């Protein structure tokens, strides 16, 4: 097992594609495929399945991804600590929630790398709350966050897109026939919520308390693949952004009444010097989402 093998594996898992992973890592597709095969041989497990023209992690793949991501983070921290700064390419350090990175960044990163191959991006997956803390502590340059966060005004920020949250279920779920969903229908019903460091999770808990209801939370997860597998069993539902539905076509997204809108954007520390590379990325994101809006009003 090598760090490069783990990097190729983790990138393929996030992109759900060997082709996209090869582009992001600036290597050939056979290099990524070979790394994955070697890991599977070494550990005697199958790491991916292929469903609807998408790579999906197996249970063993999910377990390896969690450990590998932590190991790569530690390796990157060690490298940054001891690497000669004068010989290192300046990097833009960006934190992004797992559920947003799958929607936001595959196409944008391709376009950004094509336009600015000289700029190196370091992406790390964190919930909005933790990403904001790390931006404030200067561990990250930027955070892609849910801007419903109560403290977002403490940061310099840029709104990129608006979206809305839907309640998503399998076709055989008891609520699948509903055209809209009153949150009160979820009292004592099994649901999957986002990770505890996510703004979305805090928003739902506020709504539940205001309505005096207590859904039965079976799991906290921001991994699309893991959540999808649980929901497809038809025994629980989850909350996804409307823009995530193309990634889970087997699920039905039910609009919530009243609607819970979401603003998504970038944040960076107020008063801190912004490098030229960071500023270039901010401006690129602003222009990109002006030309390629993530969602439109009324979209389902």
State pLDDT tens for residues 151-199. Answer: 888 999 999 888 889 999 999 999 999 999 999 999 999 999 988 778 8
> Is 224 a residue whose pLDDT tops 90?
no
Q: Do the domain assignments include residue 6?
A: yes
Q: Do the domain assignments include residue 174?
A: yes
Domain finish residue from 73, 88, 108 = 73
The pLDDT of residue 202: 85
**Tokens in use for 297?**
């009003």
Cα dist from 101 to 169, 213, 231, 233, 234, whole Å: 22, 31, 21, 25, 26
pTM: 0.62
Q: Do the domain assignments include residue 179?
A: yes
**Residue 153 dihedral angles phi and psi, to the nearest 5°:** -70, -10
The pLDDT of residue 299: 31
Which DSSP helix (H) or strand (E) runs through 214? none
Domain count, the chain: 2
Alpha-carbon distance 298 to 64, whole Å? 39
Mean pLDDT across 4-13: 90
CATH number at residue 28: 1.10.10.10
| Residue span of the structural domain in which 48 resides | 1-73
State pLDDT tens for residues 258-296. Answer: 888 888 899 999 888 888 899 999 999 999 988 877 644
Q: Do the domain assignments include residue 83?
A: no
Q: Do the domain assignments include residue 152?
A: no
Cα dist from 141 to 202, 263, 279, 283, whole Å: 24, 20, 10, 14
Q: Do the domain assignments include residue 85?
A: no
Domain finish residue from 26, 58, 73 = 73
Average pLDDT over the chain, rounded to whole? 86
CATH number at residue 229: 3.40.190.290
The pLDDT of residue 59: 92
Domain finish residue from 73, 89, 121 = 73
Q: Do the domain assignments include residue 203?
A: yes
């Amino acid at each position: 097992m090598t760090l490069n093998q783990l990097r190729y594996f983790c990138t393929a898992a996030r992109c759900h594609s060997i082709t996209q992973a090869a582009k992001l890592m600036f290597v050939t597709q056979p290099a990524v495929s070979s790394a994955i095969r070697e890991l599977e041989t070494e550990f005697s497990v199958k790491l991916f399945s292929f469903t609807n023209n998408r790579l999906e992690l197996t249970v063993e793949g999910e377990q390896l991804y969690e450990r590998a991501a932590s190991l790569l983070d530690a390796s990157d921290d060690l490298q940054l600590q001891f690497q000669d700064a004068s010989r290192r390419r300046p990097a833009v350090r960006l934190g992004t929630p797992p559920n947003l990175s799958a929607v936001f960044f595959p196409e944008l990163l391709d376009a950004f790398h094509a336009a600015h191959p000289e700029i190196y991006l370091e992406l790390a997956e964190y919930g909005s709350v933790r990403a904001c803390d790390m931006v404030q502590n200067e561990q990250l340059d930027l955070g892609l966050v849910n801007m419903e966060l109560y403290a977002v005004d403490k940061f310099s920020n840029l709104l990129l897109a608006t979206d809305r949250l839907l309640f998503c279920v399998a076709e055989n779920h008891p609520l699948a026939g509903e055209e809209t969903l009153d949150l009160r229908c979820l009292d004592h019903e099994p649901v999957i919520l986002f990770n505890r460091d996510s703004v979305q999770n805090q928003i739902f808990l506020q709504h539940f308390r205001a309505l005096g209801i207590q859904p039965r939370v079976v799991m906290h997860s921001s991994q699309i693949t893991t959540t999808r597998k649980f929901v497809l069993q038809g025994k629980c539902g989850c909350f996804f952004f409307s823009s995530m539905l193309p990634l889970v076509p087997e699920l039905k997204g039910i609009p919530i009444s009243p609607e819970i809108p979401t603003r998504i954007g970038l944040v960076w520390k107020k008063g801190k010097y912004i490098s030229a590379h960071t500023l270039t990325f901010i401006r690129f994101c602003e222009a990109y989402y002006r030309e390629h809006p993530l969602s439109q009003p009324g979209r389902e």
